[in-house]
Amino acid sequence: MKHTVKTKIFKAISLLPDRLGYFLYHFLQNVGSKVTLENKIQSTNNTFETVKRILLKNDITLKDSKIAELGSGWVPVFPYQLIFEGNAKCVDTYDINEHYNEKEILKLNEYFSKQYDFAVNEKKKYSLAKGVNYFPKTDICDGNLKDINLVLSRFVLEHVPPNEIIKIHDFLYSNLESGSHILHLISPSDHRAYSDSTLSLQDFLKYSEEEWNHIQTKFDYHNRLRLPQYLEIFKDKFEILFFEHDKINVESKSFKKFKELKIHEDFKNYSDQELMAGSINILLKKK
Q: Over the stretch 109-141, which tens digit does the pLDDT of each residue have? A: 999 999 999 999 877 899 999 999 999 999 999
Residue at 95 is within a domain: yes
**In the predicted model, what is the mean pLDDT of the chain?**
93
Residue at 161 is within a domain: yes
| Predicted confidence (pLDDT) at residue 18 exceeds the cutoff of 80 | yes
Of residues 231 and 26, the one with the higher pLDDT is 231
The stretch 252-266 carries a mean pLDDT of 96
27-31, 92-96, 145-149: least confident range = 27-31
Residue at 242 is within a domain: no
pLDDT in tens, 62-91: 999 999 999 999 999 999 999 999 999 999
Residue at 57 is within a domain: yes
Residue at 92 is within a domain: yes
Q: Percentage of the chain surpassing pLDDT 90? A: 80
Position 1 scores a pLDDT of 59
Range of the domain at 79: 35-187
Question: How many domains does the structure of the chain reveal?
Answer: 1
Position 122 scores a pLDDT of 78
| Predicted confidence (pLDDT) at residue 187 exceeds the cutoff of 90 | yes
Position 34 scores a pLDDT of 65
Of residues 147 and 26, the one with the higher pLDDT is 147
Position 33 scores a pLDDT of 62
| Predicted confidence (pLDDT) at residue 250 exceeds the cutoff of 90 | yes
Residue at 18 is within a domain: no
- Give burial (CB, 10 Å; 0-12/13-18/19+) of 277: buried
pLDDT band at 2 (very low <50, low <70, confident <90, very high): low
Task: Indicate which CATH number applies to the domain containing 179.
Answer: 3.40.50.150
Residue at 114 is within a domain: yes
Position 32 scores a pLDDT of 59
Position 215 scores a pLDDT of 93
pLDDT in tens, 189-212: 999 998 888 999 999 999 999 999
Residue at 62 is within a domain: yes
Position 26 scores a pLDDT of 72
| Predicted confidence (pLDDT) at residue 245 exceeds the cutoff of 70 | yes
